[in-house]
Amino acid sequence: MVSPQAKREAVTALMTERRFGVTRTCGLMRLSRSLYRYRSVRGPSVDLARRIGEIAAEKRRYGYRRVYLKLRVRAGR
């Protein structure tokens, strides 16, 4: 399986080398045009990852559900 980023790069390469249009190139690569144009705007949540790591290190047997509950308790919700 190829990552979406690799497919985006392949589409861009085909468009520049073969001078194909976006629609045709995305169709050949089986990639939707919306996914080709998509750019993430979410920043890394370093603080959240640190808190999850702390909870997981505190109790090794906690699953994701209990870690989630602990996060909510710490946040005061």
Burial classification of residue 7, based on how many CB atoms lie within 10 Å of its CB (0-12 exposed, 13-18 middle, 19 or more buried): middle
For residue 68, what are the domain limits? 46-75
Q: Which two tokens stand for residue 6?
A: 């690799």
Same domain, 33 and 50: no
pLDDT in tens, 18-59: 999 999 999 999 999 999 999 888 888 899 999 999 988 988
Residue 77 has pLDDT above 70, yes or no: no
Same domain, 9 and 32: yes
> From the DSSP assignment, how many helices (H) and strands (E) are in the chain?
5, 0
The pLDDT assigned to 34 comes to 95
Contact present, 27 and 17 (Cβ < 8 Å): no
Considering its fold, how many domains does the chain have in total? 2
Length of the chain in terms of residues written:
77
Entry pTM: 0.55
The pLDDT assigned to 41 comes to 87
Pairwise CA distance, residues 22 & 20, whole Å: 7
